[in-house]
A and B are shown apart, each in its own frame.
Chain A
Amino acid sequence: MSVAQAIAQNSTPLLEMRGISKSFPGVKALDSVDIALYPGTVTALIGENGAGKSTLVKILTGIYQPDGGEIIVEGEPVHFASAEAAIRNGITAIHQETVLFDELSVAENIFLGHAPRNRLGLINWGGMNARAAALLTSIDAPVSPYMRLKDLSIAQRHLVAIARALSVEARVVIMDEPTAALSYKEVEDLFRIIERLKRQGKAILFISHKFDEVYQIAERFAVFRDGRSIGAGLLAQTSQDEIVRMMVGRSVDHVFPKFDVAIGNTVLKVSGYSHPTEFNDISFELRRGEILGLYGLVGAGRSEFCQSLFGITHPSAGSLELEGRLIEIRSPADAVAAGIVYVPEERSRHGVVLQMPIFQNFTMATLGRTTRAGFLREAEEFALARRYAERLDLRAAALSVPVGTLSGGNQQKVVIGKWLAARPKVIILDEPTKGIDIGSKAAVHAFMSELAGEGLSVLMVSSELPEVLGMSDRVLVMREGRMAGIWKREELDAETLVRAATGNP
């Protein structure tokens, strides 16, 4: 047994979270979860997308306030009313996408908000640069404090973020997917720094999807699923299989309204679709009446791939056939005209114009059809909007009120209605039920089945395993921009998909 493991087993926790709960409208993000972080130990937090990991990090860093439960630091209950309070208690986080300032120097980035001052209360530049240099040396970062951040590579920026985290006398360091954007070599460098932090007695919370990394760097683990604590313990005593089972094994409390639909001819044929940076060599066929699930981890390139099908980005290679005809899609307008529509993930950002009335949002993609001699006819617009509002069971005071006044689920219905009005052949749904309440989820799922029943082909991007398993006829798994495989419905099980997505053999 190594020294680190001995420490992990024997010492008392530096920080403990007990019975932490947090709810958002319609979603219980965290339901009485527990986690303990030990000095000199890396604890890996493992869970699917949506398991509540990000929420936990936000509570720990004072960005969210928990609805219930307590946080204990060295035996003392504490309360983080703000991000600043968390920092004062020695808790810092290095985020997935580091939040730094391009135009400032490295030293300024490290000390922004807590720069050393001189007697006059002005910034002590000499002291700041010297301390920044010392911090950077302590983590072997080959970066000068005087460099502009914009001149650094992504890996170097990470080092600056780590130096920043250490500049505040951190005792607990949270790393939220720190390796997502790093190369193999850079990951090795990062792990050396983590080992150093361990020796300094810091408690580290390490969030990653990659099992090999977790087993390499962490001693302890905690698994979350659907906002609950499922298991915790020592990695040395737990196999990967057990952890995968903890991640995905769940009680099925949601029956998916998947109809048996006769699958027809190929509608869309994608061959060798590639992008310079986001995805490579994606090929598949989508048939009439079929729901094809697109599963993968965040950052696997699924949304980017779908956006290129829709003409927002352009593939560097590959071809597209729609109903046997080779087509080229240069813009979203081309895609809509060809019969391919895209319901984006972030409804309010990409889907609707919040301040526009509901009916105008419904007709936004089909204005040509409600126009005569160049003039829009409001009566026709209302008729079209009313037809799809009824079909989608939209709950709204009137069709003339702004979409911004609707609930999230109803906004989603407007987005879907807008695209149905375009009478598409292929509909791409990007995380169709993300962030909406249970009731609306069931309605969206039922609706998806109905669409497939009417002969539409559905490409459903989803990070929620039950949804993928429950709704798809086939599932395509992407990992790091490549196809990891494609499975038929009868071959599907949760563990296969998670393994394919995480690259865990």
Chain B
Amino acid sequence: MSRILKYRELLLLVINLVLIAAFSTRAPGFASPKSLANIFNDTSILIILALGQMAVLLTRSIDLSVAANLSFTGMAVAMLNSAHPEVPLPLLIAAALGIGAGLGAINGFMVWKIGIPAIVATLGTLTIYRGMAFVLSGGAWVNQTQMTQAFLNTPRMPVLGLPLLGWTAILVIAIIAIVFTRTIFGRSLYAAGGNPTAALYAGVDVGRTKFFAFMLSGALSGLCGYLWVSRYAVAYVDIAAGFELDTVAACVIGGISTLGGIGSVGGAVLGALFLGVIKNALPVIEISPFWQMAISGLVIIIAVLLNARQDRRKGRLILRDAAKSRSVRVATPVEGAAA
């Protein structure tokens, strides 16, 4: 979007590379193509979810229900697969996307038409969707033995050294990048979050844009429901518990503003990869996974600090004339703005 953001993505890329280099001095082979492909594959689900989360964050909302959506949809397709093994995989994937989008649409509807704040609406559905997963399954697990080979193995099938799961993430990144930068919907996301009033005046329907952002986030969560169940070869109510916070963390680290309107697909992907590198590296160099949480937390705070400083710098630019006129304490430089 802007130079600052590009600079920021470059910085994040460099940090990721430095981390990989540093870890590989302690754990030889960490930086091998195979290991890197493995890290990417392992982070694929987080990347896809983070991109959905990003769409919602851009509109000044947040979707806390992504992991619960993932759990419910994962359970639903796993049960469908075990009960009707004859249903072909493409149909199951379409079902996952559809169920997820439906759950996302419920969030979007509450935010758009009922006017419930996104954080409250999705906090509610977070609990509801997990509860629905429990009701659907009666608390039972769907195990590896109950799933078909195609269901389990397709995402694991390697193509050019990367499993299909990883390729799915690449495909989603490509589609989302095009949608966000090259379609009216994408532009509306940025406009609706960047300045809802200006967007309204320009004929952008802010509420509807939010609705579709939630629906996109839901559809990607549904897709991840299938991917997750197939990857870990088990479906139960508590899968991906707390994972919604990882998606927000990936976005924040990647420079997507929680205040809306700012962020790039590259940033979100690099933010997710950063978490993926840390998560994969710490066990290799024998650091407890609990440190991983602490480090993620620290990095989030640093990222937010960076964002805040960036915003201040931008603020100064706008007010640079005001600063010259010695009125340092004045927040609004023009009388008319306050009168």
Contacts and interface: CB of A to CB of B under 8 A. Distances in A.
A24 B187 contact: no
Contacts of B282: none
A376 B333 contact: no
B201 A371 contact: no
A50 B335 CA distance: 8
A352 interface: yes
Given A67-B326, A353-B190, A355-B261, A434 B202 contact: no
A331 interface: yes
Nearest to A400: B2
Interface string B1-25: 1110000000000000000000000
Contacts, number: 135
B127 interface: no
A412 B234 CA distance: 58
Interface stretch (A180-188, A359-367, A446-454, A471-479): A359-367
Contacts of B324: 25
Nearest to B319: A25
Interface string A48-72: 0110101100100001110100000
Interface residues of B, number: 43
B238 interface: no
Contacts of A354: 194-195, 314, 318
Interface string A452-482: 0000000000000000000000000000000
A350 B334 contact: no
B187 A360 contact: yes
Contacts of A332: 200-203
A142 interface: no
Contacts of A348: 318
A435 interface: yes
B32 interface: no
A58 B333 CA distance: 12
Interface string A324-362: 000000011101110000101010111111111100100
Interface string B178-212: 10011110110011001101111111110000000
Interface string A388-410: 00000000000011101101100
Contact of B322 (A24, A50, A355, A431): A24
A64 B202 contact: no
Interface string A64-103: 1101000000000000000000000000000000000000
Nearest to A58: B338
B333 A24 contact: yes
Nearest to A367: B184
B327 interface: yes
Interface in B301-322: 314, 317-318, 321-322
Nearest to B326: A67
Interface string A97-121: 0000000000000000000000000
B203 to A, nearest CB: 4
Contacts of A505: none
Interface in A376-431: 376, 378, 400-402, 404-405, 407-408, 418, 431
B261 A27 contact: no
A490 B127 CA distance: 70
Residue of B1, B183, B190, B334 most packed against chain A (CB within 10 A):
B334
A72 B25 CA distance: 72
B113 interface: no
B197 A349 contact: yes
A53 to B, nearest CB: 8
Contacts of B175: none
Given A65-B329, A376-B184, A404-B318, A353 B335 contact: no
A351 to B, nearest CB: 6
B337 interface: yes
B202 A375 contact: no
Nearest to B4: A402
B182 A375 contact: yes
B2 A357 contact: yes
B306 to A, nearest CB: 16
A434 B334 CA distance: 9
Contacts of B325: 23-25, 67
Contacts of A54: 335, 338-339
Given A333-B203, A376-B184, A352 B198 contact: yes
B261 A353 contact: yes
Given A331-B205, A354-B194, A401-B3, 18 more contacts: A23-B325, A24-B322, A24-B334, A54-B338, A332-B203, A336-B203, A354-B318, A355-B2, A355-B194, A356-B194, A357-B1, A365-B202, A367-B187, A375-B178, A375-B183, A376-B184, A435-B334, A435-B337
24 contacts: A24-B334, A24-B335, A25-B325, A49-B339, A50-B339, A344-B201, A348-B318, A349-B195, A350-B197, A353-B195, A354-B195, A354-B314, A355-B1, A355-B262, A356-B261, A357-B2, A360-B190, A364-B198, A375-B178, A376-B181, A400-B2, A405-B318, A407-B321, A435-B334
